[in-house]
Chains A and B, each alone.
Chain A
Amino acid sequence: MPTLSRLLPTISLAALTLLAGCTDSVETVELSAPRLLIGKPVDNTAPLGGAVKGTMQQGQSFDVNANVIINAGDTLVIQPGVKINFLGNYNFVVKGTLLSLGTQAQPIYFTVKGLAKTDQPGASPATDPAYQGKWGGILGDVTCPLMVIKWTHVEFGGGVVLVSPLSAGIANNKNTNPVYFQNPAGVLVVEDSWLYGSPNDMMTLLGGRIQIMRNTFEKCGKTGGEGISAFSGTTGNVAYNLFVGSATNGVRVSNGGGKNPQANLAVYNNTLVHCGYRRAAAGRGGSIGFEQGARGIFYNNLMVNCKYGPRVVGSGNYLGNVLVIADTANLRYGNSLNYVDSVRIANEIYPTNFLTKPQPTDIPRPGSFLPAGYRLGQVYDGTAVLRQNNPQFVGFPLPAPVQRLSEVATVGTANFRLGSGSAAIGKGTTSFAPLATSPSIPLSATYGATAITPPSRDLGAYPLDNSGNQH
């Protein structure tokens, strides 16, 4: 028999074991505190940088020499005629509210000090400053509840950030976008503004209730990129915009990204001119694209010499492309006018290998040139529609007086209003309403949309009743 003394160590050992096993260890985590930046009232006595709030007074100029941050809960109001000059690759970081309230008479500028546009047709995009991203962007963070941009010029943005000032979305060392929004619950209003030049997408929207109306987009994307690239969480209207020379599409909608609600845009009465020529990859689109679970409508759009007609992505085997079907059950469209000067693009009014359904309201009428028994995405010969259905622009002769269709990337002296005899007049439909977001976008001169312009009888951004694009 063992003595108690022999058993003692065993017992104490077992007791110790049980005792220690019962307690879980807990981490003590000490994280460095974020640098506290209190928003200072903005003034232009010194170059701008850091956290600001308040009002940029009418007509003043501001030089920006560091990231400008509008803290969550703060508001920055920009009054008409203000000029914001970026002295380098800095951003406008909007964690709170931004109200850029220009007027037709006194627009606001976000631009680069001393940089002039060099809009020579045919110039290489490699050297064009429009595509070089001289400053960053107006970057909405996940907390931004409201961003209103009216009668504002946004030029030369989209530069690379070394360290992303946002809590998500844009990665370090990556391109920004001149306008960036990522709050599905927030409101983004861009009205009557001019968006010029970006290395990649002009606007990337990872969620938001949006109202993008009556704007002019030029030189969007260097060798890829769209005017507006919208993803899951984005709902609203894109209408009466003029897109000239986007690298790929004017508007692309995808439900990628895993946010709610489903990407749902009403894209109507836009004019798209010579888009899709700086994207070398085939089949990426050159006007309007709906893909990967996106829903919405597109009506009354006017496409002139775009590399591809509206592109609805369907499932199937298309090499090298992400081919995930759009939410075709919830996609309605029609009344698209395609004017083309080249057979190659005439053959892509209904893009090869995609799912765009020819609609009887489309111009040219599908029955007039598609072969009998046409299957969606089938290769066809579009020679018959060359130079047909001229929109008769007031200040842009067609056939386009250029050597290459890719040369047209800015408005310049052109005028895309419809002349008499235009094939676009009276061909639109008004049988649908603009998309009502949930909750709806407020109508306000200051805190929301000035006007959600309903669809027009005429195609494109410039209906004869002058209710559309005012540029």
Chain B
Amino acid sequence: MPAFYRFLLLFALAGLLARTAIAQGRGATATLHGTILDAATGEPVIGATVLLPASQQGTATGLDGTYLLRVAAGPAVVVQVQNLGHETQTQTFSLAEGSRQQADFRLKAAGRALAEVTVAGHLDRESTEAARRTEQRADNVLNILSAHTIELSPDVTAGNVVQRASGVSVVRNSGGDGQYAIIRGMDRRYNYTLVNGVKIPSPDPNNRYVPLDIFPAELLQRLEVVKALTPNMEGDAIGGAMNMVMKSAPDHLVVAATAAGGYSDLFASRSFAGFNTNNLARQSPAERNPAGYQAQAGDFSSQVLDFSAVKVPVNSLFSLTVGNRTRDGRLGLLVAGSLQNTHRGSDRLFYRPLGQPNPGNVFTFDEIQRREYSLLQTRAGLHAKLDYVLNERHKLGLYSLLLRLDDAQARTIRTNDLGTGGDVPIRRQARWQRQQLWAETLQGDHALLPRLHFDWTASYARATFATPDVTEVTSKNATAANTQQGTFVQAATHLWQHSHDQDLTGAANLSFAITPTFDVTVGGLLRQKNRSNYYDYYNLDAATSGVGTSNQQPFTTYGQARFVFNLDNGLEKSTNGNNYAATERIGAGYAQAKILLFDRLQLLGGVRLEATRQHYDSQLPDDQLGRSGTIRYVDALPSLHAKYLLNERQNLRLSYFKGISRPNLFELVPAQNDLNNDYYTQAGNPNLKHTQADNFDLRYEHYGPAHAQLLAGAFYKRLRNPIEYGFSQSSSNLYFYQPTNFGTATNYGVELVFTKYIRHWGLTGNYTYTHSAITTTKRVYYRDAAGNLVTADAGSPTADYPTAPTQARPLQGQSDHIGNLALLYKNETRGLDAQLAVVYTGRRLVAVSPYRDLDQWQRATTQLDFSAEARLPFHLTAFLKVTNLLNTATVVEVMQAPAGDLRTAPGQDRADRILVQRDVYNRSYLLGVRFRLN
């Protein structure tokens, strides 16, 4: 493989150059500068070697294709420019001492063996350049993060990567990592996730949105955020769709490996609490015994809660990618594996809100908790992509993906020692959860006739979730006067939950190019989704001897704590409302056409029809309405995308699409599903309508030279029947807090994306402004004129509120301002890349209270991350990633002035708002090496 050897040579040369460049600098010098462009495309060439063969002195071009080189002055200085895939070019200059000479080169593609041209001329699909090109050429509005961007970013999971995209903010998990994406202020439910263009089911037990922290970033080739749907895409997104394009088979041998170790400095101040997950019973007593089994106290162990302190919790990260293609190019295979072992944690201060506020809707809480979370996340990913070219006209691909995220969470919750006496509860919880996603996709691509193209996809995907034996024990430190004092065991809970969500999907598309500028595509999709959730729990109380308060069980260790069944009968809780089974069938067909008019205006439009049939079986007794239910609807989803090519570098886009959002299946199940809530009853709602939205987009795009980019746009969305929680009447005298449709909501905003490179430096950023509004019914608890305390809501009108009180607010999760700014440094000569990235997420609504004025808002955050990599000999690169440099806390507050004792309570540092929750994650570091052959 000549290309391979040339690569080797170049790498060796680069190493050599790095040294000579430093040694240089004495004697009479002149300055050479210029830009290296590709002769064919006019695009700058990054990393081309500019070399003086005489002195072996040289440099490499920067991110904008420019270079700067100080050389010895002379009458005939020979300058040579080399780059893989381009012909080497030489020019000679006369350089006077102290002069500045511009020397630009336009490199021609190398033209030796034909196969090699293909290789060299092919844009590396993982490159930023390719990403920009795709964005420019795309038929619809999208943003792309390339593998190179991801690799250089401080992120190791897709959940963190996605927040770098324009208009996207993330909802974090309890370890501080991004988990769900909010696109343009549209909450999780309004977006969907694709892998290689195929929708995947979610391991979440109740929701259809996919946790993104399950995806190791190393497996991604690129991440696309599609903000305007075309008819050939599934129609159930309103915010957008995230498409994770996984690495595909290369044209030549690729071997890449990464090994890294890391540390989080949260565990410098406290130890990491770990536990052995092997001893957790994988099945509940009811599952592992014959039907009707009545569990005994001896069936449970709480020993797992005797956490072990891990002194130096070291994170590790390994990945390996191997890919190759047969000599004839017909069979390509890429296999990539990733294993991440991460210790994360957070310290949380939490004012647990009480279900009912004080009169006047004044915030009140029942406990001040200090929670210490230690999370050991083991993230394993394996994927294989195989493509086979039968002949020039027929291609087949098989894609396999297996992802697993094990999350062992050790939680210790202490109620803050504030008061003057009483019982201080201490809760410990060991929660281990496994989320798994397995997907197999078979795809075919057939050029039936020169202008008739057919492709198809058959996919099986299964997402599972399991939390075996979530163990919680409550003990208390009794300090009250006139009672027995000490630390006593109180109660234990053991919970088993597992769910699955399985998709069988078939899709096919047929496209016909009527003319080179006019093509028509028709296609369809069928999907059968099966979803179920199993939920079983056991509540035990501390075993005591005899009667009364003087016979409490002193606490020694969790392993020795003894429990008995008291109010719980020990039977399986199969009738709990969280147990459900549901199916969903989607049948879709579409027709779309694409036409280029006047060589400038591209129009893509069409309509998609989606038929939905949902069915659930619930735990309601059969004498109640809706024990099982079937819901059907058909949507016609038109869209039109216009792209006007102002010139070669500028586009103007205008698009409209209609999108929908289907309720989570769990939300349709009418069973009452909240436990231990004395204030209102939460239930599903089979009459919940799906959301339908009209979406308009306008975008101006400028693709400057040297990857410079400027995108500016505006969007407007009108949502009918958005799904929000509120009180509604189920039947006479019966009201539930349930997912409900609330009229119409709007969401609009503007977006700006820019990228600019100046030699070694790059600045890239994006900013999104969004505004949304919705009005929902709320509760007001107040004292009326007669001096009575009354509650006004949808179910109970009062004299002061003859109709239900309402409140207007933004959509949940929407921030007014979202910004990203990254400063890049790239020095090919030294083999050094660095990036400093800031993410700003404006204030947003994180929890909607049933009560007016008590919604919980997350304070605006600014997170700063740093990453760097340096090239080493032997195909190695060292990298460093530091996340959360500023130790940004997540703060959740209620916009109400604290009163009374609350003003001086811990963490209450604002006079105008009440702190509800504060999470501190600290910094984490990752240091590693990457090996890459080609």
Contacts and interface: CB of A to CB of B under 8 A. Distances in A.
Interface of A: 2, 6-7, 9-10, 13-14, 16-21, 23-35, 37, 69, 122, 124-126, 142-143, 160, 162-165, 167-169, 171-173, 175, 183, 185, 199-200, 222-223, 231-232, 255-262, 277-283, 292-293, 295, 307, 315-325, 327, 329-330, 344-345, 347-348, 352-353, 379, 404-407
Given A32-B626, A258-B791, A322-B366, A347 B598 contact: no
A9 B593 contact: yes
A435 B634 CA distance: 58
Contacts of A345: 482
Given A143-B732, A404-B548, A318 B603 contact: no
B481 A28 contact: no
Interface string B623-648: 11111111111111111100000000
Sorted nearest first, the 8 A-B pairs with minimum C-beta distance are A317-B419, A282-B480, A31-B626, A319-B422, A320-B423, A406-B548, A17-B638, A20-B638
Nearest to B797: A260
A353 B624 contact: no
Contacts of A405: 548
B367 A320 contact: yes
B478 A9 contact: no
Contacts of A34: 622-625, 627
A24 B549 contact: no
A6 B595 CA distance: 9
Nearest to A28: B632
Contacts of B423: 281-283, 319-321
19 contacts: A2-B598, A14-B640, A25-B660, A26-B633, A28-B631, A28-B633, A29-B630, A29-B631, A31-B625, A126-B564, A172-B575, A258-B781, A260-B798, A262-B790, A293-B356, A315-B900, A317-B418, A320-B415, A324-B358
Interface stretch (B78-86, B501-509, B683-691): B683-691
Given A34-B625, A122-B547, A293-B789, A324 B364 contact: yes
B789 A173 contact: no
B697 to A, nearest CB: 14
B587 to A, nearest CB: 14
A320 B624 contact: no
Given A142-B733, A324-B354, A32 B679 contact: no
B781 A283 contact: no
B656 A29 contact: no
B594 to A, nearest CB: 10
Given A17-B606, A260-B791, 9 more contacts: A17-B638, A168-B672, A183-B733, A256-B356, A256-B678, A262-B789, A319-B422, A321-B422, A353-B421
B675 A185 contact: no
A69 B621 CA distance: 13
B788 to A, nearest CB: 5
B785 interface: no
B625 A33 contact: yes
B692 A17 contact: no
Interface string B331-358: 0000000000000000000000011101
Nearest to B640: A17
Binding site secondary structure of chain A: loop
A10 B601 CA distance: 11
A264 to B, nearest CB: 8
A282 B476 CA distance: 11
Interface string B461-489: 00000000000000010111111000010
A353 B423 CA distance: 12
B720 interface: yes
A221 to B, nearest CB: 10
Nearest to A352: B481
B425 interface: yes
B419 A316 contact: yes
Given A25-B692, A142-B734, A293-B359, A329 B547 contact: no
B636 A20 contact: yes
Contacts of A260: 790-791, 796, 798
Contact of B419 (A14, A168, A318): A318
B514 to A, nearest CB: 9
B779 interface: yes
A29 B686 contact: yes
B681 interface: yes
Interface stretch (B51-59, B566-574, B820-828): B566-574
B385 interface: no
B240 to A, nearest CB: 19
Contact of B605 (A17, A37, A167, A316): A17
